[in-house]
Amino acid sequence: MVDPTPTSPREATTHTRAANEAVAFSFDDPGDTERATRGLITTHPTGQIPKLDGGVSWDTSRHDFIRENEVSPPTVNPSLWRQARLNTVHGLFEVADGIWQARGYDISNITFIAGTDGWLIIDPLTHEETARACLELANQTLGERPVTTVIYTHSHTDHYGGVLGVTTREDVAAGKVRIVAPEGFMHEVVAENAVAGPIMLRRAMYQFGALLPANERQHVDCGLGTAIPAGLPGLIAPTDLITETGQEMTLSGLRVVFQNTPNAEAPAEMNFYFPDKRALCMAENCTHTMHNLYPIRGALARDSLAWSKYIHEALSLWGDDAEVLFSSHHWPRFGTDDVSAFLELQRDVYRWLHDQTMRLANHGYVPTEIAEALELPACFGESHVQGYYGTVSHNSRSVYNRYLGWYDGNPANLDPLPVVEAGRRYVDMMGGADAVLAQARGYFDDGEYRWVVQVVNHVVFADPTNQEARELQADALEQLGYQAESATWRNAYLTGAHEMRHGSLEFRNRGGRNLVEAMEADHIFDVLGVRFDPARFTRGATTVNWAIEDLDELHTLGIHNAAIHHTPWQHAPDADATITLRRSTIFGLFEDGGGIDAAIAAGTLVVDGDLEAVRELFGSLDVFYSPNIVEP
């Protein structure tokens, strides 16, 4: 049981102070400050962007404590503090002639390019509120223009979720606005969030520190930007897809040449070049950090070898010509020499991660050994390849996992006990909880925080009501957070400490509702299968026909041998029942099988045949709540 009067975050210990004081970096380049502030025209008049339903979506003053202090406090790694200060720079900036960016009002950037018939917008941020505020800032400052093109660089939410803040479904449907995205965009937008969305959302709270108040002992930064805004993302499907490198389009009167880069930073992503402006957009494939080959919120492992090759291709295509490079996060690079040097180092860091991980793997080293052994060589001594978002440690594990999977080859690790059972046995073998904690405190006093969290984790999982263990675990996690250069690691450690003290967050996960109108039928049945609990379905083999009205499609869902199967484009003549509904009805039924009667009464669900079969189907679907992470 959690103490009803939880403790507050602690001071940095002498070991953490010493560790942070010892951080020496050669990349404290004033050039980054010049780049991050160059071209500033204006800032948002208040720095506060309200949410549509009340409250605040974004507030620049939340991180004033970073802007106001050049010297890092003892509770923040000095290298991360430097990155955080650069990320808090906000405003509307001129990038090149006719190109502007609004930065610092979302975790991502929105880019405005003046076309012959209106704005070409690149990446309309995460939420409608922040995107609309930035468009208003651009119109008020630069002169009002209609939006005629929106480009989504890739399939992550912070690059399309604010589209309803810059255009409408009606204008897109009427042909007034074109939306351009890479091939596979819609599939990947839904796929990443459909099957693993609920747990990914929970883990993202750790990665981005969403539960943490902003101060020097808690939330400081997210690595790619300051923070995630509050709100719900939207989506409008693309009107045009980029299918190959070299594809050229004229958008808003501007020539654009595209490079398709699937399975690099995102499963569907693209870079592109404006030849008449000599301006290169590298999407999120090149930013001012070493990126994730695996985000700790969870996702498919990314292909670091392909990533490096795509950057090399962009360098070959445009490196000798581009005068400015801008991305979906952080600040631009200016001048052909600087652009080329930036691309070269970005290219080389992802290739180094790939090759050196697999070199050691082929020598027989396992992921934990590789992560401990690899350190960035001195040649990577520039800020934009440091581990503020990804790290060498977890990126190397990702490379290993992509090729060799979770198993390290040692049979001792082939079938380990689950964490609760292992925790109880570890604690018993070590002489009981009191003995473990006594020794762990000694390690804590010596600054061995990694070992403390590894050992005390067993005590917490053996007995989550042990308040002494929770406090010691929180204290050790906190010190690791204070020392972390990576914003994502800091956020994860400090969120873990927060939940050790305050208890795990509990909420009903309704992820996916905002994407339901973008879902294809395959996605719907994939989600249904993940929610299906065969122990609660007692009817045996069953077949249900589906007519999905807004897709104008027929499908058959079968249940057999404790699993579902799906046949598209047809109805089974001997089905137990046929249901007719729209996609907007589906998630309500997924989350509340008891809502069938209400849906029938409202006319949003029509059932022909065995109603009880349909009741039992939807009654067998799990509702997802936020799972515990740092305790059982």
pTM (two decimals): 0.95
- Domain containing residue 467: CATH number: 1.25.40.880
Rounded to an integer, the average pLDDT of 361-373 is: 97
Among left, alpha and beta (phi > 0; psi -120 to 50; other), residue 502 is alpha
CB-based burial, 427-460: b 16+ in 10 Å, e otherwise: beeeeebeebbeebbebbeebbbeebbebbbbbb
Q: Are 225 and 126 within 8 A, CB to CB? A: no
Rounded to an integer, the average pLDDT of 574-597 is: 88
Q: Which residue has tokens 């994860």?
A: 492
In a domain, 253, yes or no: yes
Domain-ending residue, one of 385, 403, 432 = 385
In the chain, what percentage of residues exceed pLDDT 70? 98
Residues 107 and 241 in one domain: yes
pLDDT band at 29 (very low <50, low <70, confident <90, very high): confident
Residues 144 and 211 in one domain: yes
Q: Would the pLDDT of 575 be above 80?
A: yes
Q: How far apart are the first and last CA of the chain?
A: 12
Q: Which of 116, 104, 120 is nearest to 42 (CA)?
A: 104
* pLDDT, tens only, 470-492: 999 999 999 999 999 999 999 99
Q: Would the pLDDT of 369 be above 90?
A: yes
Residues 421 and 538 in one domain: no
Question: What is the C-alpha to C-alpha distance for residues 52 and 75, in angstroms, rounded to an integer?
Answer: 35
Rounded to an integer, the average pLDDT of 110-139 is: 98
Rounded to an integer, the average pLDDT of 527-538 is: 94
Residues 451 and 580 in one domain: no
For 322, other C-beta atoms within 10 Å of its C-beta total 26
Question: What is the C-alpha to C-alpha distance for residues 473 and 455, in angstroms, rounded to an integer?
Answer: 9
Residues 527 and 461 in one domain: no
Question: What is the C-alpha to C-alpha distance for residues 577 and 88, in angstroms, rounded to an integer?
Answer: 57
Question: What is the C-alpha to C-alpha distance for residues 91 and 97, in angstroms, rounded to an integer?
Answer: 17
Residues 319 and 425 in one domain: no
pLDDT of residue 346: 98
Q: Would the pLDDT of 168 be above 90?
A: yes
Residues 313 and 217 in one domain: yes
The residues near 406 (Cβ < 8 Å, ≥ 6 apart) are none
Q: Would the pLDDT of 511 be above 60?
A: no
Question: What is the C-alpha to C-alpha distance for residues 333 and 324, in angstroms, rounded to an integer?
Answer: 6
The CA-CA-CA angle for residues 595, 600, 606, to 5°, reads 125
pLDDT of residue 593: 65
Question: What is the C-alpha to C-alpha distance for residues 100 and 132, in angstroms, rounded to an integer?
Answer: 15
pLDDT band at 27 (very low <50, low <70, confident <90, very high): confident
Q: Which of 25, 19, 32, 21 is nearest to 85 (CA)?
A: 32
Residues 381 and 458 in one domain: no
In a domain, 18, yes or no: no
pLDDT of residue 594: 65
pLDDT of residue 232: 87
Total domain count, the chain:
3
Rounded to an integer, the average pLDDT of 204-217 is: 96
Sign of CA dihedral 96, 100, 105, 107: negative
- Domain containing residue 111: CATH number: 3.60.15.30
In the chain, what percentage of residues exceed pLDDT 90? 90
Q: Would the pLDDT of 2 be above 70?
A: no
pLDDT of residue 586: 87
Rounded to an integer, the average pLDDT of 333-355 is: 98
pLDDT band at 197 (very low <50, low <70, confident <90, very high): confident
Query: Lowest-confidence range among 183-197, 308-322, 410-424?
Result: 183-197
Residues 430 and 330 in one domain: no
The CA-CA-CA angle for residues 323, 324, 329, to 5°, reads 165
CA atoms within 13 A on the CB side of 194: 23
CB-based burial, 213-228: b 16+ in 10 Å, e otherwise: ebebbbbbbbbbbbbb
Question: What is the C-alpha to C-alpha distance for residues 546 and 557, in angstroms, rounded to an integer?
Answer: 7
* pLDDT, tens only, 402-445: 999 999 999 999 999 999 999 999 999 999 999 999 999 999 99
Strands 91-96 and 248-251: unpaired
Q: Would the pLDDT of 596 be above 60?
A: yes
pLDDT of residue 3: 67
Q: Which of 307, 311, 337, 308 is nearest to 324 (CA)?
A: 337
pLDDT band at 157 (very low <50, low <70, confident <90, very high): very high
Q: What is the mean pLDDT of the chain?
A: 95
Q: Which residue has tokens 């693209």?
A: 270
pLDDT of residue 474: 98
In a domain, 206, yes or no: yes
Q: Would the pLDDT of 466 be above 90?
A: yes
Domain with 551, as residue range(s), is: 519-619
Q: Are 427 and 462 within 8 A, CB to CB? A: yes
Q: Would the pLDDT of 518 be above 90?
A: no
In a domain, 325, yes or no: yes
pLDDT band at 24 (very low <50, low <70, confident <90, very high): confident
Residues 474 and 609 in one domain: no
Q: How many helices (H) and strands (E) does the chain have?
A: 21, 21
pLDDT of residue 508: 76
Q: Would the pLDDT of 576 be above 90?
A: yes
Query: Lowest-confidence range among 111-125, 197-211, 213-227, 335-349?
Result: 197-211
* pLDDT, tens only, 609-624: 999 999 999 999 998 8
Residues 118 and 214 in one domain: yes
Residues 277 and 369 in one domain: yes
Q: Which of 517, 498, 468, 507 is nearest to 624 (CA)?
A: 507
The dihedral formed by the CA atoms of 461, 462, 467 and 472, expressed in degrees to the nearest 10: -60
Rounded to an integer, the average pLDDT of 254-274 is: 97
The residues near 444 (Cβ < 8 Å, ≥ 6 apart) are 452, 472, 475, 476
